[in-house]
Amino acid sequence: MKTILITGGAGFIGSHVVRYFVNKYPNDTIYNLDALTYAGNLENLKDVEKAANYTFLKANICDADTIFSLFKKYRFDKVIHLAAESHVDRSITDPLEFLKTNVLGTVNLLNAAKFTWKNNFSNKLFYHISTDEVYGTLGKTGLFTETTSYNPNSPYSASKASSDHFVRAYGETYGLPYIISNCSNNYGPNQFPEKLIPLFIHNILKNKALPVYGDGNYTRDWLYVLDHAMAIDTVFLHGKISETYNIGGFNEWKNIDLVKLLCKLMDVKLGKVEGASESLITFVKDRPGHDLRYAIDATKISKELGWKPSVTFEEGLFKTIDWYLKNTTWLEHVTSGAYQKYYEKQYKE
């Protein structure tokens, strides 16, 4: 029986990881620690909130005293750390918030783990969830591998890179058993509508403009969120201590092509005439420091641990669109209040 702490479990990826673990490991105890920022939403976990092996802890990873006392009280054996500020555009507006949560917050967790485990690291694990954005940008060719040098370009990716370095440093310096995985862009149910795919689904539903940054010729590698959750489980079970694993969908799309495909699928789903959603595309001012291309080489996790994505992009997009169409109340809840202010500020001319 293990005691597993998942941080950021009320967010997009975290909620899928929590659900997956709660259902798959009935004999383990799963703690979900989350501050419930604008991105955290317990509605994401309604179906598991009463499970006997699940407990929610409302706490901020920046609050060292609280984090220490929770480690002392619950004696977590394994940590899967997802809590973070995660949106590049917000990091451009407010870098300090990203430094606090992503760097200080991570170091607080590392200190609490190190202190509580008191150098008795057998069967302990600090598994840090990170992003491919730490590698910076690719040109038109090439792929990120686990040995690509870090070269972050946004305050978000700089803060994640820094947190990765701290995790590795605690491994080298104190012997803390860690694993890091760096994943490409996720999409799927429960993603906050500030990221490209849910924002555009939301705007199509509201008949609002689809703001494509620059010329739209930026490339991302997309992975369905449940495939990421399953990759995390695979690394958690079989990953080697002190190793890094890149996780990706082998699925590169230029933004403009992705947006056009999404528009087509939405027209079909909504019974609109072909081209109706595409007519909402508006090219807007580019994101400063916009990375041209991300693409992951996921050979290591695939060869060494046997993981590969289970759904195609079309299947994943269909499931995603279906979920947003069925969960309009969720969408209304998360887009009320503070979100309106963010949207007006981010997309003003």
Active site residue 132: yes
For residue 84, state whether it binds ligand NAD (rule: CB under 6 A): yes
At a CB cut-off of 8 Å and minimum separation 6, what does 250 contact? 221, 296, 298, 309
Quick check: 17 binds ligand NAD (CB under 6 A)?
A: no
Select 82 or 103, whichever has its Cβ closest to ligand NAD: 82
Q: For residues 218 and 290, what is the distance between their CA atoms, to the nearest angstrom?
A: 8
Nearer to ligand TYD, 26 or 209 (CB): 209
How far from the centroid of its chain's Cα atoms is residue 148's Cα?
A: 21
Of 107, 129, 167, 262, which one interacts with ligand NAD (CB under 6 A)?
129
113: contact with ligand NAD by CB under 6 A: no
Distance CA 123, CA 72 (A): 17
List C-alpha distances in Å: 117 to 46, 113, 123, 179, 283.
Answer: 32, 6, 10, 16, 52
Mention every residue, 6+ apart, whose C-beta is less than 8 A from residue 195.
87, 187
**Which residue among 32, 148, 186, 302 contacts ligand NAD (CB under 6 A)?**
186
The least CB distance from residue 197 to ligand NAD, in Å, is: 10
Nearest-angstrom CA–CA distance, 157 and 87: 10
Rounded Cα–Cα distance for residues 156 and 11 (Å): 17
Is 224 assigned a catalytic role?
no
- Choosing from 133, 164, 194, 291, the catalytic residue is 133
Residues that bind ligand TYD (CB under 6 A): 88, 185, 195-196, 199, 211-213, 218, 220, 255, 287
Closest C-alpha among 5, 126, 2, 14 to residue 70: 5
Residue 218 partner contact from ligand TYD, ligand NAD, none using kind-dependent CB cut-offs of 5 to 8 Å: ligand TYD
Amino acid identity, position 179: I
Closest CB 137 distance from ligand TYD, rounded Å: 10
> Which CB, 330 or 347, lies closer to ligand TYD?
347
CB nearer to ligand TYD: pick between 227 and 291: 291
DSSP codes of every residue in 143-174: -B-TTSPP---SHHHHHHHHHHHHHHHHHHHH
- Which of 3, 37, 53, 299: binder of ligand NAD (CB under 6 A)? 37
Please tell me whether residue 320 binds ligand NAD under the rule CB under 6 A. Answer: no
Among 23, 25, 36, 254, binds ligand NAD (CB under 6 A): 36
What SS3 state is found at 36?
coil
Q: How many helices (H) and strands (E) does the chain have?
A: 13, 12
C-beta closer to ligand NAD: residue 235 or 280: 235
Which active-site residues does the annotation give? 132-133, 156
Contact residues for ligand NAD, defined by CB under 6 A: 8, 10-14, 34-37, 39-40, 60-62, 82-86, 101, 105, 129, 131, 160, 183, 185-186, 192
